[in-house]
Amino acid sequence: MGALAHYLEAKGIATTQISLIRVHTEKIHPPRALWVPFDLGRPLGVPDDPSFQKKVLVSALELLNARSGPVLVDFSEEAPVGADDSDAAQAAWSCPISFSAPEQAETDLEKQVSALRREMTELMPWYDKRRKEQSRTALANFEPDAAAGLLCDYLLDQSPEPGDSEMTLAVAIRLAVQDLKTFYYEAASHQPGTTPPTSREFARWFWTQTAAGHLIRSVSEKCKTEPDKTLQMTGKAFLVPMGW
Amino acid sequence: MARLENLTEPMRSHIADLPCPQFDHTPWVNVPELANQRIAIISTAGLHRRGDRPFGGMDGDFRVIDGTSKAEDLVMTHISTNFDRTGFQQDWNVVFPIDRLRQLADENRIGSVADFHYSFMGAADPSKMAPSAENLAGLLKGDNVDAAVLIPV
């Protein structure tokens, strides 16, 4: 991010930026930067809090009033902690759906695929309800069934088709994983009687309690064994977050 | 929180050890008062309009986001899986604060909002972004942009 500011400013466009990693900004010395102590992925602090977001944005923009630099300023506030962010609430959140038990007489991989299908069937009504009520979905490339289909076909050696002739299998697998996670988030957070999970609680649930998380780990492991280096790299770095 | 000391391993070491480009000087452009500036957003969250090319690798290229885009038009295909996406899934402004920028224009705290905004995929090698950034500077000038606010992810 700091390098981009450097390149643009050198070509005559003034820049100000938000910084999430202060040590990087200290090394790069971009012209103007506001360091914020927020989660990675949340540079404006919190969703659905226009007042706080505006405060952050104004703080970054006001650095454009400086007459010389580089300028690196710390934002003075932590992101607001909502009721659902408290430790107690995080510990208490769980998906209300109790997923069905696996069928017998299937291979391990087939069991994983079956379990994923059952989970998705049980989540789909809440996803459909959300789509009817909200115009926006963060699904980027694949509808939920298509994302699952690609990953299952890959895992079972059944000629996975990216669906786009210009898309490599490695990119398609990465995007399918992202869209499958998005489906789980949008469905699980729209069930009656539940509030949207925090990012940490969703990650804990998804990666430790769902068949989808389990299957994605298997996809990751299979990618690592491929002769294709982009698939290897995808399996090593781009499917399962560090620490999970 | 994105305080390095609060991240757990191996994420902390991964972030701390990422190579950063070094520059021997900091370029500087003076601009009019904020209330008279035309502002564009440049994100590195790997955002693009639905149906546009997803970010596929480390090419350092960018996507154009028309200022008329709505929240449902914008998707994220950043290559990293190591940051929170649930915030963006709830509210695009937590990553792409276009509604906040428009509010500031309505309140005359900035001059105007650019017609076009842009997104890179921040995991790309910064040196590969340099040629794209130079092209982007021309596009921003063509849109009469005074300043860009750069938003990481």
- CA B2 to chain CA centroid, Å, is 18
| Residue A213, beta-bridge partner list | none
Confidence of residue A92 (pLDDT cuts 50, 70, 90): very low
Burial B118-139, CB ≥16 within 10 A → b, else e = bbbbbbbebeebbebbeebbeb
Min distance A98 CA to chain B CA atoms (Å): 22
Look at residue B149 and tell me whether its pLDDT is greater than 80: yes
Nearest to residue B40, comparing CAs of A74, A52, A59, A13?
Answer: A13
* CA B1, A75, A30, B122 torsion-angle sign: positive
Min distance A158 CA to chain B CA atoms (Å): 23
Name the residue type at position B12: R
pLDDT for the residue numbered A83? 43
Confidence of residue B32 (pLDDT cuts 50, 70, 90): very high
Look at residue A131 and tell me whether its pLDDT is greater than 60: yes
HSE (CB half, 13 Å, CA atoms) of B78?
25
For A46-65, the pLDDT digits (tens) are 999 999 999 999 999 999 99
Neighboring chain B residues of A47 at a CB cutoff of 8 Å = 87-88, 90-91, 93-94
Nearest to residue A75, comparing CAs of A52, A49, A41?
Answer: A52
Number of CB atoms found within 10 A of residue A184's CB: 22
Ramachandran category for residue A33: left, alpha or beta (phi over 0 → left; psi -120 to 50 → alpha):
beta
Q: By CA distance, what is A177's nearest residue in B? A: B81
Confidence of residue B106 (pLDDT cuts 50, 70, 90): very high
- Asked if the Cβ–Cβ distance from B29 to A9 is below 8 Å, we say yes
| Mean pLDDT on B47-57 | 92
Could you please report the per-residue DSSP string of chain A?
Answer: -HHHHHHHHHTT-EEEEEES-HHHHHHH--SEEEE--PPTT-TTSSTT-HHHHHHHHHHHHGGGG-SSS-EEEE---PPP--GGGSHHHHHH---S--PPPPPSS--HHHHHHHHHHHHHHHHHHHHHHHHHH-S-----S--HHHHHHHHHHHHTTS----SSTTS-HHHHHHHHHHHHHHHHHHHHTTSTT-PPPPHHHHHHHHHHH-HHHHHHHHHHHHHHT-SSHHHHHIIIIISS-TT-
Distance in angstroms (rounded) separating the CA atoms of residues A239 and A244: 11
| Mean pLDDT on B104-131 | 95
- Asked if the Cβ–Cβ distance from B87 to A39 is below 8 Å, we say yes
- Asked if the Cβ–Cβ distance from A31 to B89 is below 8 Å, we say no
Min distance A64 CA to chain B CA atoms (Å): 7
pLDDT for the residue numbered A97? 61
pLDDT for the residue numbered A161? 84
Confidence of residue A84 (pLDDT cuts 50, 70, 90): very low
- Asked if the Cβ–Cβ distance from A41 to B153 is below 8 Å, we say yes
Higher pLDDT pick, A58 / A191: A58
pLDDT for the residue numbered B74? 97
Name the residue type at position A101: A
- Asked if the Cβ–Cβ distance from A136 to B71 is below 8 Å, we say yes
Confidence of residue B127 (pLDDT cuts 50, 70, 90): confident
- Asked if the Cβ–Cβ distance from B4 to A22 is below 8 Å, we say yes
Distance in angstroms (rounded) separating the CA atoms of residues B78 and B151: 14
| Mean pLDDT on A135-148 | 95
Distance in angstroms (rounded) separating the CA atoms of residues A142 and A126: 18
A138 in contact with chain B, both atoms CB, cutoff 8 A: yes
For B65-90, the pLDDT digits (tens) are 999 999 999 999 999 999 999 999 99
Which of A128-132, A205-209, B13-17, B136-140 has the lowest average pLDDT? Answer: B13-17
A135 in contact with chain B, both atoms CB, cutoff 8 A: yes
- Whole-Å CA distances, A56 to A4, A35, B45, B57, B150: 20, 10, 18, 30, 13
For A101-117, the pLDDT digits (tens) are 655 667 789 999 999 99
Interface probe for B, chosen from A7, A25, A178 (most Cβ of B below 10 Å), is A7
Q: Could you identify the residue written with the tokens 């938003």?
A: B151
Min distance B4 CA to chain A CA atoms (Å): 7
Which of A53-67, A157-171, A203-217 has the lowest average pLDDT? Answer: A157-171
For B6-25, the pLDDT digits (tens) are 888 888 888 888 888 999 99
- CA B150 to chain CA centroid, Å, is 5
| Mean pLDDT on A134-146 | 95
| Mean pLDDT on B115-123 | 95
pLDDT for the residue numbered B136? 97
Nearest to residue B41, comparing CAs of B104, B90, B127, B83?
Answer: B104
Nearest to residue A239, comparing CAs of B59, B79, B15, B60?
Answer: B79
Which of A83-87, B3-7, B11-15 has the lowest average pLDDT? Answer: A83-87
Interface probe for B, chosen from A42, A173, A180 (most Cβ of B below 10 Å), is A42
State percent of chain A over pLDDT 90. 76
Neighboring chain A residues of B60 at a CB cutoff of 8 Å = none
Look at residue A90 and tell me whether its pLDDT is greater than 80: no
For A144-162, the pLDDT digits (tens) are 999 999 999 999 999 888 8
- Asked if the Cβ–Cβ distance from B129 to A4 is below 8 Å, we say yes
Q: Which of B77, B83, B90 is facing A140, going by the closest CB pair?
A: B77
